[in-house]
Amino acid sequence: MTARILVERNVMAPMRDGVRLAADVYRPDDDGRHPVLVHRIPYDKSIAQNVGSQMVNPIVAAEHGYAVVVQDCRGCFQSEGVMTLYADEGPDGYDTVEWAAAQPWSTGRVGIYGSSYMGVTCLQAAVAAPPHLEAAMAYLTAANLYQGWVYSGGALELGFNLGYTQGRALPAMARLGVDRDRQRELRRQMAECAADRAAFLRTLPLSEAPVLRERDILPYWHEFIDHDAYDDYWKRLDVAARADEIRAPVMHIAGWYDQFLKGHLDLNQSLQRHPDARVRESHRFIVGPWDHNSYMGYNLSRAGDREFGARALSGVAVVSDLLLQWFDHWLRDEDTPLMAQPRARYFLMGGENAWREADAWPPPSSPARYYLHGGGRANSRFGDGVLSTEPPRAGPPDSYRYDPRDPVPTIGGRTFATVTGPGGVRDQAEVETRDDVLVYTSARLLEPLTIAGNVAVELWIASSAPDTDFTGKLVDVEPGGYCAIVADGIQRARFRDSFESPRFLEPGVVASLTIDLWDVAYTFERGHSLRLEISSSSFPRFSRNANSTVRPEFAGPDDLRVAVQQVFHDERRPSSLTLPVVERALAAPLPPRGA
């Protein structure tokens, strides 16, 4: 371990367009050359030594023998230029890696790491493939900015993006030379939005939300909502889709209750198919039982109401050790315990709450279909909705009215920030009393049931509207009545066939769609029941669909319509939930009522 550390402040690195980005460089105080770790951050590089940027303290890494470059992103703090969310991180990451490799204190071997937005900078640099980048490590971040960051299932991730994007206005105003009177007015609007976040989230149309409507200050907000389909705008930023361009080994860490899980899942699949055997075989993927707050040092082993125990510990204390092992192997040619472990490691929630390992994610499983049944009155948990492995025969559809003026509230799950409380495991019992939530419940399990992999809901639906949303939620009903959310998802109807080519519904005409509830590893214990919720909103996590041909982000109050929704479950139209079962269980013959 190095005894003395040298810290150089505001070292300027030139980018290809002449803009200079500022970095603090932490390195051993000697005349030697050292492998380099790059960390690019929009939240002020000066905080890195205090919070470790949620992955490793740069002083600790420098004591370990690395030179650590902690850089302000373009347009942030001491760096020059104007920030454009996401778009410049690939080129700037490439140029920074190559600059770091050429420094006199560098061996020319460079790694890059980051969490959350810093993880975006990491992965964008990885797919840009700078020649001197030898390894990358990302934590609770996004690889596909369209799916699971700005949109999910075609619906805007409102709760996260509205506030986060507005928060970029303050540094942008200073860079753009906005006059003081206008700055004062916009700051006033931001303060009002912060004071009444519920009203801010209900702004209609979203295209005219306070501060965000200022196109000269936040042009990318309008680009986000203009590009609601998965088009070239998003494809160029999609690391998962472009993973074949990555030339360095990647390790990434995700959380089951993190809003950004989807990008990790997609990236994992792409890297497991990578044409370069070195990248493919060296890839490492870890998923723990965390929400997004864990990377910030909160809820280190908890997600919502559920405490997963000391084995589930996350945060800097755990991640920094993994990070040093990862880069010691790739940048210093050391054998480390991490590299002797299987490529996938995941936390199996429920039951014993334990880590499991596999050669790949997901592990082998058998698909089990649980069909929706009922007599047409599945509304709320007091209705007649049943979930069973028996295929349906005849039966009337269930129906409900979705009113965007009174959406179903987001309660826990994979949500970054809502006015209803934290994400993670939350009790769904109150939500399930609403008539606009269809509830289907299985018999109580006679044996534990373990699933590991993708969860999907296939629905046969009809709507009185040309466009609408359908949401799905997998719930674990405990004997005491607590209804724990396990996985959730949404599908905007116009994108039911393709996220690239929207197609409206024909009102009243039956159609099929699939709601992706993403992946999970979970054990439903003996005596518990499976439950599926179907509705059309989860607000404010997702934007409200106006039930019209108007794009939801441009819909005003007068565009909102009530939609009558139908869900079919008969022999010709067998709506179902598909679970990846790795340990099958039996069920009692009769389902519970009103649990």
Confidence tier at 2 by pLDDT (50, 70, 90): low
- Choosing from 24, 92, 228, 258, which is the catalytic residue? 258
- The verdict on 169 and 241 lying in the same domain is no
- The verdict on 371 and 488 lying in the same domain is yes
CATH assignment at residue 533: 2.60.120.260
pLDDT at 466 over 80: yes
Q: Which domain holds residue 489?
A: 366-583
- The verdict on 44 and 160 lying in the same domain is no
Mean pLDDT of the chain: 94
Whether residue 389 lies inside any domain: the answer is: yes
Whether residue 594 lies inside any domain: the answer is: no
- The verdict on 113 and 255 lying in the same domain is yes
Q: How many CA atoms lie within 13 A of 244 on its CB side?
A: 3
Pick 268 or 295 by higher pLDDT: 268
Whether residue 20 lies inside any domain: the answer is: yes
| Bond before 422 cis per omega within 30 degrees | no
Do 470 and 491 contact (CB within 8 A), yes or no? Answer: yes
- The verdict on 94 and 241 lying in the same domain is yes
pLDDT at 295: 76
% of the chain with per-residue pLDDT over 90: 91
- The verdict on 470 and 372 lying in the same domain is yes
The three-point CA angle 228-230-236 to 5° equals 120
Start-to-end C-alpha separation, the chain: 58
- Choosing from 274, 292, 373, 528, which is the catalytic residue? 292
Q: Is 320 a catalytic residue?
A: no
pLDDT at 594: 39
Q: Using DSSP bridges, classify how beta strands 529-535 and 469-477 pair: parallel, antiparallel or unpaired.
A: antiparallel
- Dihedral sign, CA of 275, 278, 279, 280? positive
- Dihedral sign, CA of 98, 101, 105, 109? positive
Strand ranges of the sheet holding 106-115, from the earlier edge strand across to the other edge? 5-14, 20-28, 67-72, 34-41, 106-115, 133-139, 250-255, 284-288, 344-348, 354-358
- The verdict on 229 and 350 lying in the same domain is no
> Which residue, of 358, 388, 416, is where some domain finishes?
358
Q: Mean pLDDT, to the nearest integer, of 436-444?
A: 98
pLDDT at 293: 83
Total domain count, the chain: 3
pLDDT at 52: 53
Q: Mean pLDDT, to the nearest integer, of 183-210?
A: 96
> Which residue, of 330, 358, 386, is where some domain finishes?
358
Whether residue 589 lies inside any domain: the answer is: no
User: Lowest-pLDDT range, 211-220, 291-300, 367-376?
Assistant: 291-300
pLDDT at 592 over 80: no
Confidence tier at 419 by pLDDT (50, 70, 90): low
Q: Mean pLDDT, to the nearest integer, of 26-31?
A: 96
Whether residue 75 lies inside any domain: the answer is: yes
pLDDT at 294: 80
pLDDT at 590: 35
Beta bridge pairs of residue 524: 449
> Which residues lie below 8 Å from residue 81, measured CB to CB, with a gap of 6+?
15, 19, 21, 74, 75, 88, 175
Do 120 and 141 contact (CB within 8 A), yes or no? Answer: yes
- The verdict on 212 and 275 lying in the same domain is no
- Summarised one tens digit per residue, pLDDT across range 102-116 is 999 999 999 999 999
Distance (Å, whole) CA 254 – CA 239? 15
Distance (Å, whole) CA 527 – CA 584? 14
Q: Mean pLDDT, to the nearest integer, of 161-165?
A: 94
- The verdict on 538 and 478 lying in the same domain is yes
pLDDT at 71 over 90: yes
pLDDT at 593 over 60: no
User: Lowest-pLDDT range, 40-54, 250-264, 298-312?
Assistant: 40-54
Whether residue 190 lies inside any domain: the answer is: yes
| Bond before 171 cis per omega within 30 degrees | no
CATH assignment at residue 266: 3.40.50.1820
CA-to-CA separations, 327 to 49, 286, 296, 500, in angstroms, rounded: 19, 16, 22, 38
* Rg of the chain in Å (alpha carbons): 24
Residue-level length of the chain: 595
Q: Mean pLDDT, to the nearest integer, of 223-233?
A: 98
pLDDT at 228 over 80: yes
Distance (Å, whole) CA 141 – CA 252? 9
Q: Mean pLDDT, to the nearest integer, of 218-243?
A: 97
Distance (Å, whole) CA 560 – CA 363? 44
Distance (Å, whole) CA 520 – CA 289? 10
pLDDT at 33: 98
Confidence tier at 420 by pLDDT (50, 70, 90): low
For residue 519, give both structure tokens.
């992946």
CATH assignment at residue 196: 1.10.3020
pLDDT at 181 over 60: yes
Q: Mean pLDDT, to the nearest integer, of 458-477?
A: 98
Q: Mean pLDDT, to the nearest integer, of 462-466?
A: 98
Q: Is 435 a catalytic residue?
A: no
- Choosing from 79, 115, 116, 270, which is the catalytic residue? 116
For residue 464, give both structure tokens.
């009185």
Confidence tier at 298 by pLDDT (50, 70, 90): confident
CA-to-CA separations, 552 to 241, 545, 560, in angstroms, rounded: 27, 5, 9
Q: Using DSSP bridges, classify how beta strands 250-255 and 20-28 pair: parallel, antiparallel or unpaired.
A: unpaired
pLDDT at 74: 97
Whether residue 74 lies inside any domain: the answer is: yes
User: Lowest-pLDDT range, 51-55, 75-79, 206-210?
Assistant: 51-55
What DSSP string runs through 88-111? THHHHHHHHHHHHHTSTTEEEEEE
- Summarised one tens digit per residue, pLDDT across range 93-151 is 999 999 999 999 999 999 999 999 999 999 999 999 999 999 999 999 999 999 999 99
Supply the DSSP symbol for 329: H
- The verdict on 486 and 391 lying in the same domain is yes
- The verdict on 469 and 523 lying in the same domain is yes
- The verdict on 471 and 523 lying in the same domain is yes
pLDDT at 1: 63
Which of these, 384, 443, 385, lies nearest to 575 by C-alpha position?
385
Q: Is 292 a catalytic residue?
A: yes
Distance (Å, whole) CA 515 – CA 182? 44
Whether residue 592 lies inside any domain: the answer is: no
> Which residue, of 172, 207, 233, is where some domain finishes?
233
Q: Mean pLDDT, to the nearest integer, of 483-504?
A: 98
% of the chain with per-residue pLDDT over 70: 96
Confidence tier at 221 by pLDDT (50, 70, 90): very high
Q: Mean pLDDT, to the nearest integer, of 477-491?
A: 98
Which of these, 540, 519, 542, 53, lies nearest to 263 by C-alpha position?
519
Distance (Å, whole) CA 193 – CA 238? 31
Do 145 and 120 contact (CB within 8 A), yes or no? Answer: yes
